Structure 1
Amino acid sequence: MIKKIVNVLVLIPIGIVLIVLSVANRQSVTLALNPFRPEDSVLSVTAPFFVYLFLAVIFGLVVGSLATWFTQGKHRKRARIEASEAVKWHTEAEKHRTRAEAIASQAVLPSPGK
């Protein structure tokens, strides 16, 4: 519940800011990718300015996510190793438990000679 409230408190202001930016920056802008001939229409794109702003934000999110994912790789590897070791030790403990139960059940049974 608190996570939902925090998300609403964060996402609503961000949404409002993005809507305001979109309305304020509706002018068409040409992005020229050819530095020697900027008027070349093959390597230029014309779009409203807010599209470039959104693309820059999305690109930043993707680059930041990838950087975080790569830097946390050692922690994920360690977690995988520890999880496999935990499964190994759990199966070992189960094997010993069943063996101990079998030995205990044999010891409790009365001998047939009495």
Structure 2
Amino acid sequence: MSVGRVLSLLIVVPLSILGVALAVANRKPVTVSLDPFTPATPAFSVTVPLFAVIFAALIAGVVLGGLVTWVSQGRFRREARLARREMRREDRRAEDRRAEERRDAGARSMSLPAPRG
């Protein structure tokens, strides 16, 4: 078993146990209302266990954080894309120069030697 796999297990197993313990300890139903104007009789509300609200908030935070990170690193991805494009262009130019030099060398070897005087 690799070191990365062992480290992954050392992190995932305790977090999983913690998640199960959190779910068991917080299974009472709570009402989630998305109507801030009439709290007594909300237009849209749902009753779910508290752990579902907590897990949904954690997942939403991870997704939102990932999205913000992805957007903020866009300029670095663009710069890397441009650098790769330029590198491929330079590689093609170098290959074209090498091919031209091979053609020139072949043409020189096929020509007659210079006359001796």
Task: Work out whether the TM-score is over 0.5.
Answer: yes
Whole-angstrom distance in 1 between the partners of 2:30 and 2:5: 38
Contact 2:31–2:47 at 8 Å: present in 1 too? yes
Whole-angstrom distance in 2 between the partners of 1:108 and 1:11: 68
After TM superposition, the structure 1 stretch with the greater mean CA deviation from structure 2, 77-86 or 29-38, is 29-38
* CA drift at 1:10: 1.4
**Is residue 30 of structure 1 aligned with residue 31 of structure 2?**
yes
Instruction: Tell me the equivalent position of 1:44.
Output: 45
Contact 2:31–2:45 at 8 Å: present in 1 too? yes
* CA drift at 1:41: 5.4
Instruction: Tell me the equivalent position of 1:87.
Output: 88
Equivalenced residue count is: 112
Please provide the CA RMSD for this pair: 1.7
TM-score normalised by structure 2 residue count: 0.86
Contact 1:25–1:50 at 8 Å: present in 2 too? yes
**Identical aligned residues as a percent:** 35
Contact 1:32–1:39 at 8 Å: present in 2 too? no
TM-score normalised by structure 1 residue count: 0.88
After TM superposition, the structure 1 stretch with the greater mean CA deviation from structure 2, 20-29 or 4-13, is 4-13
Q: Deviations over 1:20-69 (max 9, x none)?
A: 10111111111122234324253111001110011000000011101110
Gaps of 5+ in 2: none
